A and B are shown apart, each in its own frame.
Chain A
């Protein structure tokens, strides 16, 4: 009887009031809950502190230049005139160009891995491609300097000039460094992300979608291109956004091959500059508080852009994996 009473007591702790709190704390569960909760909240804290710090540290240039910062073309640390236009231009050009190279290549490879290759081969290749994503960016930069730049100067550049030289984007002298070289290196770096995410998304497309298309007489390619890919489209878009965010924020490889000249030039052979490269090159040797503030503001812009892109990408991927984008 007495044992039953003790069991009852243990099974029904006090429902409310300070005694309940003490009971739960002594029990340990609440403490563990609160401690882990604090650590989880740290992540939110760090992220918001990041935005806050960048915002505060860029106060000087934000008040002095306002919105003009974004379309002013001069970048003059000596006279403290700062405009971000050349960096924004360089970042956009290299990112978009690298996507133009990487998306067709990556999507095609993902289709091969998800639709055609036997599961074992597909898994092995995906494993190797994931390794490619793990290569540190400074190593891509190293290869960029000693492999891609000479190749650009001697082979790719002259070939482009000979065939498409009439276009303004391929005019002008070619020294090997510049927008195009940076875009090629970037493309190599982001292709693994596109393949890896797109493959996962394509693999979640239900089997009967393919079978229905094939049963109606579609060829393998038609079922893939007109049924499977449209079904997975939001997820594939998500992978592209992820890759774009990587490309925008990529620092080392780009810094090492783009030439680092703050200018807006039509020719893809001319050297340029990106937001990330400017921060990497100038921050440690910034000439004064104004210069530092300008670089901080560049960092803020970069952070917010990648934040939005990553946010969109995650939503798209989640939506696709939960049930397909276009069940029509």
Chain B
């Protein structure tokens, strides 16, 4: 009787442990399937025109997404210009100055903002930057992305600053530097590698965002000079082309998907390797 029970327990053990391994393997396999499928479909659709030409009209074959590539870069530049300084300074506050209660509230709110659905952030940017001027613009899209950049930058900046040993701060202060001088010339430079990595990760994350751009930057078939016009971007192009009925647009959606994923994953792999080498827990 007890022997039977032991056999039961041991086989349950073996079964469940195997299942957990299978589960882990399944998830990793999915990653490689996604990569492989995208590489296959996107790779055979990539051509020179894709990078250099404007889109052709509905249903016409050929053309490219040059304007969307430039548009995406422009949106990222706006998002970075607004979001990164705010994130950096708020992160410095939390790590170097913050008291107890206010810091806790700020940190908590940052996490909540980080978890806010991106489509809602799009609605917010719409009511801030589209409603007053009554037209869609690159600026509105960049603003939406900036709101998403901030919380990621804050948390990574804070974490890397905290990883700097206190002896560095004490050393600088013992030499007579004031607190802000210590921060600006010793602590932040020491953590700069990690901070910049965190910023790149933040930009990589928002580079793939589609939802907040749908009704802020909208889309554009042509070049959009300046910041005040509707602007095409890679993620929105992927979306529009994927749900369209045209085969050639599907082909270009795959190509754009491959380009986007390659950029995002390369940025992620590079950044995470840097972070891991520094022995700091990734965020």
Residues of A bordering B, CB below 8 Å: 27-29, 31-33, 35-37, 39-44, 46-47, 49-50, 53-54, 57, 104-106, 108-109, 111-113, 115-117, 125, 127-132, 134-139, 141-143, 145-147, 188, 191-192, 195, 219-222, 225, 242, 245-246, 248-252, 256, 276, 279-280, 283-284, 295-296, 299, 302-303, 306-307, 309-311, 314
Contacts and interface: CB of A to CB of B under 8 A. Distances in A.
Contact of A314 (B13, B111, B210): B111
B180 A29 contact: yes
A142 B86 contact: no
Interface string B233-263: 0010011001100000010011001001100
Nearest to A199: B24
Given A43-B154, A130-B282, A249-B117, 20 more contacts: A29-B178, A29-B180, A36-B92, A42-B86, A43-B106, A112-B20, A136-B208, A138-B235, A139-B260, A141-B242, A142-B238, A145-B242, A188-B30, A219-B10, A219-B13, A249-B116, A283-B214, A296-B123, A306-B116, A314-B112
Contacts of B178: 27-29
Given A37-B97, A111-B20, A299-B123, A132 B214 contact: no
Interface string B27-52: 11011001001100100000000000
B124 A283 contact: no
B111 A109 contact: no
B119 interface: yes
Given A28-B180, A44-B105, A248 B265 contact: no
Given A43-B150, A108-B24, A138-B239, A249 B120 contact: yes
Given A40-B93, A47-B113, A125-B24, A147 B118 contact: no
Contacts of A41: 106
Interface string B195-229: 00000000011011111001100100000000000
Nearest to B127: A53
Given A109-B24, A130-B272, A252-B210, A43 B113 contact: yes
A221 B13 contact: yes
A142 B97 contact: no
B180 A31 contact: yes
Contacts of A252: 210-211, 235, 239
A131 B210 contact: no
Contact of A276 (B13, B19, B124, B211): B211
Interface string B121-145: 1111011100000000000000000
A136 B113 contact: no
Contacts of B102: 40
A50 B143 CA distance: 13
A221 B90 contact: no
Interface string B93-121: 11011100011011011111101111111
- Secondary structure of the A contact surface, majority rule: helix
Contact of B119 (A143, A188, A279, A311): A279
A75 B275 CA distance: 49
A39 B108 contact: no
B127 A134 contact: no
A251 B211 contact: yes
B239 A141 contact: yes
Contacts of B264: 134-136
A139 B261 contact: yes
Contacts of A311: 108, 112
A284 B115 contact: no
B269 interface: yes
A116 B21 contact: yes
Contacts of A225: 16
B251 to A, nearest CB: 11
Contacts of A36: 89-90, 92-93, 96-97
B183 interface: yes
A256 B243 contact: yes
A256 B250 CA distance: 13
Contact of A40 (B30, B94, B121): B94
B205 A134 contact: yes
B90 A43 contact: yes
B112 A310 contact: yes
Contacts of B19: 108
B10 A303 contact: no
B17 A28 contact: no
Nearest to A123: B276
Contacts of A50: 116, 120-121, 124
A136 B108 contact: no
B255 to A, nearest CB: 11
B111 A221 contact: no
B151 A43 contact: yes
